[in-house]
Amino acid sequence: MSKFAVLGYGVVGSGVVELFYTNRDSITSKAGQSMDIKYILDIRDFPNSPYEDKFVKSIETILSDDEVTAVAECMGGVHPAYEFVKACLEKGKSVSTSNKQLVAEKGAELLKVAKEHHCNFFFEASVGGAIPIIRPLHKCLAANEITEVAGILNGTTNFILTKMINEHMEFETALAMAQELGYAEKDPTADVEGDDACRKICIISSLVYGKHVYPNSVYTKGITDISLDDVKYAQKWGGAIKLIAYVKKLDNGKIIPLVCPMLVSNENLIAHVDDVFNAVMVCGNGIDKTLFYGRGAGKLPTASAVLGDIINEVQHSETVLSQYWEDTNSTDFIADYSEFTAQMYFRIKGSNTLVPEGAETICTDDDDYTVFITKPMSIADSERLCASIAENNGMVVSTIPVLDIK
Amino acid sequence: MSKFAVLGYGVVGSGVVELFYTNRDSITSKAGQSMDIKYILDIRDFPNSPYEDKFVKSIETILSDDEVTAVAECMGGVHPAYEFVKACLEKGKSVSTSNKQLVAEKGAELLKVAKEHHCNFFFEASVGGAIPIIRPLHKCLAANEITEVAGILNGTTNFILTKMINEHMEFETALAMAQELGYAEKDPTADVEGDDACRKICIISSLVYGKHVYPNSVYTKGITDISLDDVKYAQKWGGAIKLIAYVKKLDNGKIIPLVCPMLVSNENLIAHVDDVFNAVMVCGNGIDKTLFYGRGAGKLPTASAVLGDIINEVQHSETVLSQYWEDTNSTDFIADYSEFTAQMYFRIKGSNTLVPEGAETICTDDDDYTVFITKPMSIADSERLCASIAENNGMVVSTIPVLDIK
């Protein structure tokens, strides 16, 4: 009999408990041994819960119980999740977390603590919810040099953009609808400004390239500037505007992680990923490209990923050394955003603007705007182009990079 | 230093060797120890190969060398792959195979031999080429009851259908093009008649439901009957015809595995999977649905999956008990195809046919055909409907089930 504890009985934590007891027979069969939840940690009372006898209020109860070999951390936020997780790992209890903020801020340190104490720090649920991405990246695709990863890693913004694209709904209206449906928080900043997607691309970048990438070293731009005009011109071009979390390895060995809206061609499946769904495309020198798609959030989908890690821990309790990265205390391996190279979408006020050589025009005879897509250029060069357009009395309303994976 | 052998130096085997030496540094780093290929088994001579000194002609050389702890089987076909793989496993050497025919025919037995000899029989490469699907199914999604799996598992037929859909090319022309491009064999039977996809859904069904599903117990229909008319009416309806490999668990506990063309709504990403790409959608009671997409065949993509398994073996040499299914010597757990229930697409010669109640008409005023989609019905009921249409002098030209996952 293997026993684990659940930290936090919010949306994800209660999902872990519900999914475990719903599927307990098949989970036991897959784990190769009987399993149960011994404790649920929450400061609140749940007097009518069928699991009433499992609730505890102090982490010490869990830490001091040697029978508990694994812990599912579903509290969210950095504190006290960090202190609790670290203490569990120091006791040799493996931890599975859905907490992307914790992994993005403290991942390298917690992986080190886990390694030192011969246990595991798992975080499949921290990126892409139900989508298996962490384990496939470091296990199944281990024979590849990963060249690029691009994904839709925030369901809230994808829901809003889908409404803007398919129903030509204004940003504010779509956001209000997302809030009403429970897809967006009352304060939607972390989602719409790209911070949530940033944490996830930090985790992927760290895992793929072996060095901790902190959120503050990642260029991050959200979707608040995206207008219906841009959405419509993107459709005219044959694609969709999506909030893309992205990382690429450059020829000089540095990586560029970033989060920003991008134009995605309809030839790329990512353009067809709608509503709250997430998708991650991984490019490597063996696989060419592969894509993982599913629900990026939600009670049971996230619980599925947390529990998958717990089952894996019960099956194989040896330390997973491969899932590890270093804290280099440096950002030397991260290239500046200005070095990022892509075709660029330009929307310019007025129809009398000169279109640069080699650009693909989406619209030149429109009364209001000249819209075109340049040949690939660096962000630095695109900023110089903006300046030169301004010198010629043009007004650049928006510039958006084009995702170069088809 | 960990050493492995490669059996067969055809497309996949040579890909394994090429990808290993291209990425050897990063592979070594991920494996946690130095690795090398000690032998390549092939009956042919490769006098100018840079790996000339590694070629051997007898499996005995590999079997008797204790330094070889893992073997990549890339020969294809059941014999002598089966005898070689079995002998390797009996010597305690773990095997990773790309050979779907071998796994579909002999999987249960080889998994048993591996278990008895405390080694692993891996087969990530046997389904979906580069796409991580086997490990995610039995590891990451272990907390779920898997309710349905539906996928495009044959690249050749998907290429042909894509040409028919996007360019309205006739089947024969598209097949000839696939042959010219090397996507289809000279004798394309195994692909176009669905046998290749059948082997893959057998492997997935066995893994998911724990009992070996043999190819001869799976209803299998290929794409040779699909006409451009059906393709066009499917587009008019808002979807695409795809060759779908499918398995579902019924309420009575039985499973229905099958391979046949299906109408897929454009709302499902599978409808947008084009050319030689494969995709697998997995539905479960935690995840809702998740999709895996990538190259289903080819030298380096398949090699990536074979090598991923080899690296995993080097990292963790313990037996992977969870990846296991039984040979029940029975088909009692497999429901008859006639019990499969779906909306059905009907194309009927003549425009004066009565459309059944509740059906969605795609076309009634066409000179040539009446086309509609029924409410969900069993295959048995759809056959009764066909008979009653015939009694009323209608001629059913085609019936195609609709995939019910959106």
Q: What is the pLDDT of residues A41-74, one digit of tens each?
A: 999 999 999 999 999 999 999 999 999 999 999 9
Which chain B residue is nearest to residue A302, measuring alpha carbons? B287
Q: Which of B136, B210, B305 sits opposite A132 (nearest CB)?
A: B136
**So what's the pLDDT on residue A355?**
85
Largest separation between any pair of C-alpha atoms in chain B: 75
What is the rounded distance in angstroms from the CA atom of residue A7 to the CA atom of residue A24?
A: 19
Share of chain B above pLDDT 90, in %: 88
Cis ω on the peptide bond leading into residue B80 (within 30° of 0)?
yes
- Mutate which of A14, A30, A96, A273 to disrupt the B interface (most B C-beta within 10 Å)? A30
Summarised one tens digit per residue, pLDDT across range B59-114 is 999 999 999 999 999 999 999 999 999 999 999 999 999 999 999 999 999 999 99
C-alpha B314, offset from chain centre: 26
Summarised one tens digit per residue, pLDDT across range B343-371 is 999 999 986 667 888 999 888 766 689 99
Cα of A143 to nearest chain B Cα, Å = 5
- If 0-12 CB within 10 Å is exposed, 13-18 middle and 19+ buried, where does residue A351 land? middle
Which chain B positions have a beta carbon within 8 Å of A4's beta carbon? none
**Could you give the residue numbers annotated as active site of A?**
200
Mean pLDDT taken over chain A: 95
pLDDT of residue A116 exceeding 90, the answer is yes
- Range with top average pLDDT, A108-112, A319-323, A360-364: A108-112
Summarised one tens digit per residue, pLDDT across range B278-321 is 999 999 999 999 999 999 999 999 999 999 999 999 987 766 66
Assess contact for B93 and B26: CB atoms under 8 A: no
pLDDT class of B246 with cuts at 50, 70, 90: very high
pLDDT class of A321 with cuts at 50, 70, 90: low
Which chain A positions have a beta carbon within 8 Å of B74's beta carbon? none
Question: A292 touching B, CB under 8 A?
Answer: yes
Which chain B positions have a beta carbon within 8 Å of A301's beta carbon? 286-288
CB-based contact B293 A292, cutoff 8 Å: yes
pLDDT class of B324 with cuts at 50, 70, 90: confident
Summarised one tens digit per residue, pLDDT across range A262-302 is 999 999 999 999 999 999 999 999 999 999 999 999 999 99
Task: Report which of residues B277 and B354 the model is more confident about.
Answer: B277
Summarised one tens digit per residue, pLDDT across range A167-207 is 999 999 999 999 999 999 999 999 999 999 999 999 999 99
**So what's the pLDDT on residue B166?**
96
pLDDT class of A352 with cuts at 50, 70, 90: low
Summarised one tens digit per residue, pLDDT across range B180-199 is 999 999 999 999 999 999 99
Q: Which of A22, A32, A286 sits opposite B303 (nearest CB)?
A: A286
SS3 B67: coil
Residues 6+ away with beta carbon under 8 Å from B176 = none
Secondary structure percentages of chain B, helix, strand, coil, to 5 = 40, 25, 35
Q: Is the ipTM of this complex over 0.90?
A: yes
C-alpha A236, offset from chain centre: 28
Summarised one tens digit per residue, pLDDT across range B157-179 is 999 999 999 999 999 999 999 99
Contact residues, A window 98-127, toward B, CB-based 8 Å cutoff: 124
**So what's the pLDDT on residue A392?**
83
- If 0-12 CB within 10 Å is exposed, 13-18 middle and 19+ buried, where does residue A83 land? exposed
CB-based contact A288 B143, cutoff 8 Å: no
**So what's the pLDDT on residue B368?**
85
pLDDT of residue A320 exceeding 90, the answer is no
Q: Which amino acid is at B373?
A: I
- SS3 for chain A is CEEEEEECCCHHHHHHHHHHHHCHHHHHHHHCCCEEEEEEECCCCCCCCCCHHHEECCHHHHHCCCCEEEEEECCCCCCCHHHHHHHHHHCCCEEEECCHHHHHHHHHHHHHHHHHCCCCEECHHHCCCCCCCHHHHHHHCCCCCEEEEEEECCHHHHHHHHHHHHHCCCHHHHHHHHHHCCCCCCCCHHHHCCHHHHHHHHHHHHHHHCECCCHHHCEECCCCCCCHHHHHHHHHHCEEEEEEEEEEECCCCCEEEEEEEEEEECCCHHHHCCCCEEEEEEEECCCEEEEEEEECCCHHHHHHHHHHHHHHHHHCCCCCCCCCCECCCCCCCECCHHHCEECEEEEEECCCCCCCCCCEEEECCCCCEEEEECCCEEHHHHHHHHHHHHHCCCEEEEEEEECCCC
**A349 CB neighbour count, 10 Å cutoff:** 14
CB-based contact A301 B287, cutoff 8 Å: yes
**B75 CB neighbour count, 10 Å cutoff:** 24
pLDDT class of B143 with cuts at 50, 70, 90: very high
Which residues on neighbouring strands pair with residue B179, listed in sequence order? none
Mean pLDDT taken over chain B: 95
**So what's the pLDDT on residue A204?**
98
CB-based contact B286 A316, cutoff 8 Å: no
Which residues on neighbouring strands pair with residue A45, listed in sequence order? none
Phi then psi for residue A94, to 5 deg, are: -70, 150
**So what's the pLDDT on residue B352?**
66
pLDDT of residue B322 exceeding 70, the answer is no
- Indicate which residue of B106, B200, B211, B249 is catalytic: B200
**So what's the pLDDT on residue A324?**
83
Q: Which of B143, B291, B308 sits opposite A293 (nearest CB)?
A: B291
Cα end-to-end span (Å), chain A: 49
pLDDT of residue A322 exceeding 70, the answer is no
pLDDT of residue A76 exceeding 70, the answer is yes
Q: Which of A124, A286, A322 sits opposite B304 (nearest CB)?
A: A286
**So what's the pLDDT on residue B355?**
85
The CA R_g of chain A, rounded to the nearest whole Å, is: 23
The H or E element that residue B371 is part of is strand B369-373
Of B13, B31, B7, nearest to B88 (Cα)?
B7
Q: Which of A141, A307, A321 sits opposite B143 (nearest CB)?
A: A307
**So what's the pLDDT on residue B181?**
95
Question: A20 touching B, CB under 8 A?
Answer: yes
**So what's the pLDDT on residue B363?**
83
Task: Report which of residues A19 and A314 the model is more confident about.
Answer: A19
Query: Which 8-state DSSP code applies to residue B333?
Result: T
Contact residues, A window 127-156, toward B, CB-based 8 Å cutoff: 130-132, 135-136, 138-145
**So what's the pLDDT on residue A319?**
66
Assess contact for B96 and B125: CB atoms under 8 A: yes
Sign of CA dihedral A75, A79, A84, A86: positive
Question: B45 touching A, CB under 8 A?
Answer: no
**So what's the pLDDT on residue A258?**
98
**So what's the pLDDT on residue A237?**
96
Cα of A126 to nearest chain B Cα, Å = 13
